Structure formats: structure tokens, C-alpha cells
Amino acid sequence: MRKVWFGIGIVLLGPVIWLIWSPDNSRAQSNDWTEPFPPFKIAGNLYYVGSKGLANYLITTPEGHILINSDMEENVPLIRASVENLGFKFTDIKILLISHAHWDHDAASDTIKKLTGAKYMVMDADVSVVESGGKTDFQYGNDPTTLYKPTKVDRILRDGDEVKLGGTVLVAHLTPGHTKGCTTWTLKVTEGGKTYDVVIIGSPNVNPGYRLVNNTTYPRIAEDYQKTFKVLKSLSCDIFLGAHGNYFGLDTKYPRLKTEGLSVFVDPAGYKKYVEEKEEEFKKELAKQRTVQQQ
């Protein structure tokens, strides 16, 4: 989750005009988070049902479906319409998962639970954030614009746990730093007689304002990011996906889907490059903060 800034205020101080940016409090972002996007089949029983900016994934099975990410309240009608436009019943969602406990990915979890009766499964280190409605988040807990309705977790997940439904198996990989329980999901899908390894990255981003050095609310944050990059580099990836469309180039890949088919999303090289770039960004930010700390 990245803080989004919206709105300009003008303050006159003598002859000087100051532009002051203020955070949006309405939750209706002036970006692509709530912009509809065509739902589509990625491969096998894996579908994209998110907005242009916030990625949601539907995994269908004969015993019901799995949804990854609930997003914001404004996104629920969009997600539901996407699921139903693909020919599936929204109420057949049996399991709700998230990539991490930031409000742009989990604020509507209580609503989706009530609409579907789905069991909510969350990585252990993110459970307190989810069940407090964001109040125990190490970075945003005191920011009222990021809080949401607390949601009861039905199953607490731990690193390496499997989520199974109707013959499909997802593996929860703890990739912490962005949140303490940030989760990268892996699964296998079969298309055209071939099986593909899918990786859905939780988030490797170091958000503006994150303290990587002497963070009293998250002392192990730097070590956790290092763990995350080690885990991400160890995963076998054919189909590269993530919690936001811009992680894996949704904008540029989707228009090619009709002519090029699944091969558009088979992108192990793109996955490797993305992870390497994000690790380099982390290392630079860590070095910068260490230098400032020593001065």
C-alpha cells in the first residue's frame, strides 16, 4: 500500500503562495484503484477480477472459490461484477485471502465475509492489524484515513502453510517488511496440458516514511526485508503476478492477451528483474538511512 495524496490547498503568506498537499480522507482515490478493468482468465482456474490498480484474483474449484484481496469498500461492487461477468457466483467464494494488511487490500474483508460466508485466512503477523481495523499497523496505525472495520480471522496462517480447496493448493510464503505478515502466494495452474508455477507477490516496496533503522515499532524491519528478497529469489516463477497491476505490467500485457494468449503472462525474466530492482531500491534506502543515522 502506498499513501496517496489528493487535493491542493492554497495559503497566502505575504507575497508567497504555498501549495499544500493534503491526504484524501474520502477513500475514493483519484487514481486507478477504483477504475474498472475487464475481468479475464489468466490460466487454468486462475482469473483476474481486480480494478486497474488493485489486483484481485479468483481461483475457481468444483467445491467453491478462493478470492485474494478484498480491497476497499468502493471496490466490492466492481469485484462482484467481475466475478459474475466471468460466469461464476460471488456467493460461491468459500475462502478469502489477502496479500497484506493495508487498507487498500483488506478494508472490505468484513463486507465480503458477510456477503459470501467465506472463511478469512491471514498470515499470523498481520492478524492483529486485520482484527484491529488497522490500528496496530506499525506505520499507519495512528492515521485515521487508513483505518477500516475490524474483521475476525477464521484461520491463522504461518509461513509455508497450505490453503486447499477443490483440488487446488496455494502456499503462503511469509515475505515481511512491507507489513509484518506480508504474504506471497504460489500455486500451480494447468493450461493446454502444461503446468505453470504462479507467483503472486505481496509487496516488496519500502513505502515513503518507512524507518529501516532504529524503528521502535518494528525493530526487525530491515532484516525482514532481507528475508523477503531471499524468499522471492528462491521461488520458481512462470506466471508473474502481484498485489498491484503495475508490479507485473498489467497495463501493457493485457492488450496483447487476445493475440498472444497466455504467453503474455509467462514472464520469469520479468519476475527476476522486478525482484532485483526492488531489492536494489531497498538497499539504497537502507544505506541512505544508515548514513543519516551516523551523522
- Which residues face 41 on adjacent strands? 47
Q: What is the DSSP letter of 70?
A: -
pLDDT in tens, 160-188: 999 999 999 999 999 999 999 999 999 99
Q: What CATH number does the domain containing 163 carry?
A: 3.60.15.10
Confidence of residue 30 (pLDDT cuts 50, 70, 90): very low
pLDDT in tens, 213-255: 999 999 999 999 999 999 999 999 999 999 999 999 999 999 9
d(CA 52, CA 244): 8
d(CA 113, CA 277): 36
Residue 144's CB: how many other CB atoms inside 10 A? 10
d(CA 180, CA 124): 9
Which residue has better confidence, 36 or 9?
36
Q: Can you spell out the DSSP letters for 103-170?
A: HHHHTTHHHHHHHH-PEEEEEHHHHHHHHTTTTT-TTTTT-GGG-------SEEE-TT-EEEETTEEE
Q: Are 48 and 40 in contact, with CB atoms under 8 Å apart?
A: yes
Instruction: Locate 3 and state its grid cell.
Output: 499513501
Confidence of residue 7 (pLDDT cuts 50, 70, 90): very low
Strands 46-48 and 64-68 turn out to be unpaired
- Contacts for 18 with CB less than 8 Å, ≥ 6 apart: 10, 11
**Residue 192 belongs to domain spanning:** 5-294
The residue with cell 483488506 is: 106
Structural domain count, the chain: 1
Q: What is the model's pLDDT at position 21? A: 31
pLDDT in tens, 66-86: 999 999 999 999 999 999 999
